[in-house]
Structure 1
Amino acid sequence: MRSAIKVLMGLLAVFCLVQAASAAVNYKLSTTPTVSPSSGDISPGEPVTVLVTLTLTGTEQTFPDKNQLEFYTELNDPQWTRDIQIDGIGSDSPRTVKNMRMTIPGFELSYKSGLNLVVKVTLKGYAPTVTATSSKTIMSIQELDSNGVAVEGSTYSIKRTVVNPQDVQANIATAQTRLTALKASIDEKLVSGVDTTAAQTKYDEAKAAINRASSTSDFAAAKADLTVAQTAMDAAETALVQAEAQKEINDAQSAINQIDGIITYFEVNRSMGTDQRVMNLKTQRDLAAQSLSLANDQMNAKNYDAARIKGADANQKAQSTLTLATQVREEIGEGFSLNLGSLPLYIGAGIVIVLIIGGIIYLRNRKRWDELG
């Protein structure tokens, strides 16, 4: 009984090993596949070529004779050319297949281990027509077992986005609408004193890219140009918000500087440091400066929308305080202030006054003397 159990366990182990061996992937890519065009999206009808080289990696045999390699494509009018090479020697007449799917049966690939067996496959076709821009399989490779089931981990795919012309035309129209709105925004900010130089530069880049997309029949190239345009418009909008925020910050800082000058005048020239009106101005000035500091923090963090909002708040507070400070100065007036730079003028005026008073006194005394005889 125990012997029978051991035999069964041994057979089970052998069966598991066989299953594991049959589940192994028996090929690998010798080199990176060559695809033309090499990168980017493709347009319907565009010719496509793929070259792959596979090395068979079976252990006891180069490839299991009951398995098969399957190749598939979604290209139109596909033409496969395959060449099986053993130790560098290929067929005199490589086989050609014109179908979306090509299979190579295992018995054509099964040789004793130790041989260097390579499969070279070339695929030529045309990008298919699509109703919506989508990803299509240019080539897929998989190993199928004896039941026609894909061996786990054996599938390899090359995919590429095929562009739908209608999608491109719709996207061009959308981009042009956005570009028009961007131009209007740039012009509006320019009138209000915002530095729109950076935004205008990016706008020009976007406009050029959209013009290229509109004038080409290469829809993949048009789609790439639209991506360039969208990126440039994003940058232009960001630059515009940044410039607007910087203007609010600059205007707020300028107003605060003027407020500081007026407060200094009140404190130094008029000795009004304890005047309630001056103290109120200083409080309002500090509130504006706090908002300005927050705006600068957001600017440094590149949070331009937040910087613009905080900058506008700081500017509003600073301008309101500046108006109040100007009103207080007008109410108080210039008053009298001894300016050392005008000292000679003051001395001269004093001498004139003394001479006038002396002359009046002299004339009065002389008249009195005349009356006394």
Structure 2
Amino acid sequence: MKANISRWIILLLALVCVVQAASAFDVKTATVNPASGDLEPSQEVTAHYVIAYNMKPGSSDDESFDFSTGLRDPAWTFIVYRDGIPIYTTEKTGYYPSLGAFELAYNDKVELDVQLRGTVPKISSGEVEIVKLEHLKNKHVEGDPYRMTRKVVSAEQVGSSLSVQQQNLKTLKADIDARAADGVDVSAAQAKYDAASKALTSAASAAPSKAAEYIATATKNMDEAKPLLDKAWAEKEVSDTGAALESLDSKINYFVENRSMGGDPKVVSIVTKRESAVQFYSQAKDGLSAKNYQLARSKAADGLNKANEALSDADALREEIGEGFSLGGNLLLYVGIGVIVVLAIVGAVIYRKKTRWDELG
């Protein structure tokens, strides 16, 4: 039992040590200028950090705060505040300054004010480390280091990215125009296209870091335009299928209600095709609801094809039973009536002439 208690005490002490190590410092504020966006080579950068920490004097440990930066020509200013009053200031240069316990260890509440100035290297791998802070004790890192980085973009990178996005914009415009020609409502996608086009125009004349922001804005708008265009296209296809089914239902109703042909094999065939079209139409609407626009278009196309087959059959049947809109089988009737009318007129004329002759004779 005592052995178990001893183990628990050791574990608790170890946990306390871990918590103390992890909380040896706390970065209360971190300010970088420029405040946002990508950096660019040779750009000037300033950074300001306020760090609360706990480092007691008189300790035999070799304890320090080690800083580092990827900025070129870095200049550092360190100020120790005790109860809000500056009590120690030092300035350093170089990429790896260090502050030891003799500079930092105090019993009272203390904070370390860090000011850094430097420039972004001319050659960068896409990211630069603004600052890194490690708490070392007996040459071992305690807790988690603090690290701040920023992306770096060059004029060459911006130029390449701009070219790619300009081509993507052209492709998007072609897709929008193609859908508009098909009668699709492209207004939502067009608005996103206009915003992207404006951003890329601004990027073409901006500095690299600002141009990168414009390109990101344009890319976002183009990415949003694509599903909007797909949605509108799918809605149009589904709507066309629904309209075809409404027309088909009207024609089927004529055969069933007006002509009592519900049992006719040709009407049954038309109804069967109609049911198949309805199934595709239902699947298309489900795809639309699930935002699976490609599936919605595919099923709507299948439904429309099947509905059009049934419509063609219905038109053919209506002509067959003498209810079509063309002259068709009624042509002879119309010709016969015309002949009778002409003969009647000719007969009337002859009769009038004969009567006139009889009167004169």
**Same fold (TM > 0.5):** yes
C-alpha distance in 2 between matches for 1:127 and 1:117: 32
% identical equivalent positions: 35
Match 2:91 to one of 96, 101, 109? 96
1:13-63 Cα distance to aligned partner (Å, 9 max, x none): 9xx98xx59x835732252212222233222222222111222313x5387
C-alpha distance in 2 between matches for 1:107 and 1:329: 104
Q: Counterpart of 1:202? A: 192
> Residue 149 in 1 paired to residue 140 in 2?
yes
Q: Counterpart of 2:7? A: none
C-alpha distance in 1 between matches for 2:54 and 2:110: 9
Q: Which amino acid aligns with 1:150?
A: V
Change (3 A) 1:278 1:137: same
**Which structure shows the higher strand fraction?**
2
Change (3 A) 1:26 1:264: closer
Q: Counterpart of 1:56? A: 53
Structure 1 gaps of 5+ residues are: 1-12, 336-373
C-alpha distance in 2 between matches for 1:31 and 1:64: 28
> 1:64 offset after TM fit, Å?
6.2
Q: Counterpart of 1:126? A: 119
The two structures have a TM-score, normalised by structure 1, of 0.77
Paired residues of 1:64 and 1:110 also in contact (CA < 8 A): no
Change (3 A) 1:262 1:26: closer
Q: Counterpart of 1:72? A: 68
Comparing 278-287 with 158-167, greater Cα deviation is found at 158-167
> Residue 117 in 1 paired to residue 107 in 2?
no
Q: Counterpart of 2:165? A: 175
Change (3 A) 1:25 1:277: closer
Change (3 A) 1:283 1:34: same
Q: Counterpart of 1:370? A: none
Equivalenced residue count is 313
1:316-340 Cα distance to aligned partner (Å, 9 max, x none): 11122212211111111229xxxxx
C-alpha distance in 1 between matches for 2:27 and 2:179: 59
Q: Which amino acid aligns with 2:205?
A: S
Match 2:77 to one of 81, 84, 87? 81
> 1:212 offset after TM fit, Å?
1.4
> Residue 188 in 1 paired to residue 178 in 2?
yes
The two structures have a TM-score, normalised by structure 2, of 0.80
Q: Counterpart of 1:303? A: 292
> 1:265 offset after TM fit, Å?
0.8
Paired residues of 1:25 and 1:143 also in contact (CA < 8 A): no
Paired residues of 2:276 and 2:306 also in contact (CA < 8 A): yes
Report matched runs for 1:249-288 at 5 Å.
249-288=238-277
C-alpha distance in 1 between matches for 2:123 and 2:285: 51
Q: Which amino acid aligns with 1:311?
A: A
Q: Which amino acid aligns with 1:130?
A: I
Structure 2 gaps of 5+ residues are: 1-9, 325-361
C-alpha distance in 1 between matches for 2:309 and 2:233: 20
Paired residues of 1:55 and 1:118 also in contact (CA < 8 A): yes
1:259-288 Cα distance to aligned partner (Å, 9 max, x none): 111111111111111111111101101100
Q: Which amino acid aligns with 1:103?
A: S
Report matched runs for 1:1-16 at 5 Å.
none
Q: Which amino acid aligns with 2:280?
A: S
Match 2:220 to one of 200, 208, 231? 231
